[in-house]
Structure 1
């Protein structure tokens, strides 16, 4: 891999409510700014997997850790629509008035929340709830997740057992904190080998294309490192974020101006099924859907980075 400069070292900004937002940057420091919203469970270190491609395409990836993830402060009672305010403060601190958004998997609700807030209809006299503005030039959602209640024709592709589990976690997320801390949090901080073995055991149920990505030494170690950093402090942030996925999101996809939004989905994606992406595409007016039938949840963002960044930056 090419040399990663000091720009990749974690930094932080203070927020008005005294919380800290941690972030790091990857790619070219003078490149086109792209906000990188990591997946779940993942952290800003997921963007390190995109560093090489970002350098090739002169992209500057700015990757914040969401509240309670990594070294970002926990935010009690937060919702998806709280995130745009944090993002706006970050972009103002970095003196960025226009950028792209690249969201993977569990980062998609946060990307959509930003589009909902930053692209409100100014002709109707509405102002973004953040009282801060940043212009979103384009958004790529890769292996994204969408609301479980999203209406549409045909099956969503999400198993009933998964729907039930997400609903339960959404309402009693606090009960899984001790379990998540025992299973992943403590090993992440104290026993890296145990943490890795548990992560690899979970990967056994993934499609072969995703297993091949994890078998790659560079990608596999980067993936593990990103997940491990989630629990840098404790498991509370990860448990709360899991709960958000199973609750109402607080906004409707139909209300979003999705011009400039591209949806990238793999046909072998069992975690975020392509059927759900098709439904979301139908509700996101102006979006473009790109389906890669032989890619999985991990292989798509792992193997299509150049294609995704090229489409974002050069149109």
Structure 2
């Protein structure tokens, strides 16, 4: 069962912990749509690396209450609230796909507590100067963002219908990622264990409504509430150059904007390969806290 943390405004946040209880605390922020039960490194990997992995449902997903009109920046306060409840002073943050902009928010807005940030297959801010935001993006994602920009009511109607379809057959959502994606994405989905984790992730994310999904897309289609240029903590930006869901140009833009960012563009891989990259990113995330506590 998840731990329920109550935010200062009374909202409930559903939190899960995995790995080593006294290990290096790392927040893993899920994709869009997604939940605290999303794909994560296996327990033995977390124990071997000495990682205490913390996940939670963003507002409106799973068992977490909705936060109307939230921005990307809003999630940093929820991360701080959960860290306080868990008696964690400093922590690293990694976000994948839709979780990546929220991880960057922690780097920008919680620099005294966030030691390192990793943004895997992130999108760039809406209206990013000099970036053709939709270039190389799959048609379904382009349509999703265009609907969001047309207004919240249209976005809510569109995504509520999609969420109903996913609840009826969550495996179809996972398989559609392979159909629209690259050969690399299809290879990832062919892994039975990973496919089951993704199905569980989508089922939990949309168990009650599409509210979290709607609010994520609206937040991505609006001002983020911070400038990536304000991030001063060590930041890793990773992307596969065959990504059609959040094209690699987005991470290249972020890498130029974030001071002293480390950028890793991997050839021949795509969006879902971020799932297999995550275990290799964890040692980088633990580095600073490891020096402090070692």
State whether TM-score is above 0.5.
yes
Q: Select 1:46's aligned residue among 35, 38, 45.
A: 38
* Conserved? CA contact 1:210–1:297, under 8 Å: yes
Tell me: CA distance 1:201–1:274, structure 2 relative to 1, closer, same or farther (3 Å). Answer: closer
Shift of 1:153: 7.1
Separation in structure 2 between the aligned mates of residue 22 and residue 118 of structure 1, nearest angstrom: 21
1:242-261 matches, cutoff 5 A: 242-257=217-232, 259-261=233-235
1:144-155 matches, cutoff 5 A: 144-152=122-130
Q: Select 1:141's aligned residue among 115, 119, 133.
A: 119
Q: Select 1:237's aligned residue among 212, 215, 223.
A: 212
Partner residue in 1 for 2:5: 13
Shift of 1:154: 8.0
Task: Name the count of aligned residue pairs.
Answer: 287
Shift of 1:288: 0.5
Shift of 1:180: 2.8
Tell me: CA distance 1:309–1:198, structure 2 relative to 1, closer, same or farther (3 Å). Answer: closer
1:297-308 matches, cutoff 5 A: 297-299=271-273, 301-308=274-281
Shift of 1:226: 0.8
Shift of 1:234: 0.9
Partner residue in 2 for 1:267: 241
Shift of 1:91: 0.6
Q: Select 2:103's aligned residue among 111, 133, 146.
A: 111
Tell me: CA distance 1:268–1:87, structure 2 relative to 1, closer, same or farther (3 Å). Answer: same
3-state SS of paired residue (1:225) = helix
**TM norm structure 1:** 0.83
Matched, 1:211 2:186: yes
How big is the alpha-carbon RMSD for the aligned residues of Structure 1 and Structure 2?
2.3
Shift of 1:244: 1.4
Shift of 1:160: 9.8
Moved more, 47-56 or 134-143: 47-56
Shift of 1:49: 4.5
Moved more, 47-56 or 105-114: 47-56
Moved more, 244-253 or 261-270: 244-253
Separation in structure 2 between the aligned mates of residue 160 and residue 212 of structure 1, nearest angstrom: 18
Instruction: Compare relative contact order (CA 8 Å, sep 6+) and give the higher one, 1 or 2.
Output: 2
Residue ranges of structure 2 left out of the alignment (5+ in a row): 289-294
Separation in structure 2 between the aligned mates of residue 287 and residue 233 of structure 1, nearest angstrom: 38
Matched, 1:57 2:35: no
Residue ranges of structure 1 left out of the alignment (5+ in a row): 1-8, 120-133
Matched, 1:90 2:68: no
Separation in structure 2 between the aligned mates of residue 16 and residue 104 of structure 1, nearest angstrom: 26
Q: Deviations over 1:127-158 (max 9, x none)?
A: xxxxxxx6111111111111132224788744
Q: Deviations over 1:78-106 (max 9, x none)?
A: 11222121111111111100110011111
Partner residue in 1 for 2:161: 182
Matched, 1:27 2:25: no
3-state SS of paired residue (1:100) = strand
Separation in structure 1 between the aligned mates of residue 223 and residue 166 of structure 2, nearest angstrom: 32
* Conserved? CA contact 2:93–2:106, under 8 Å: no
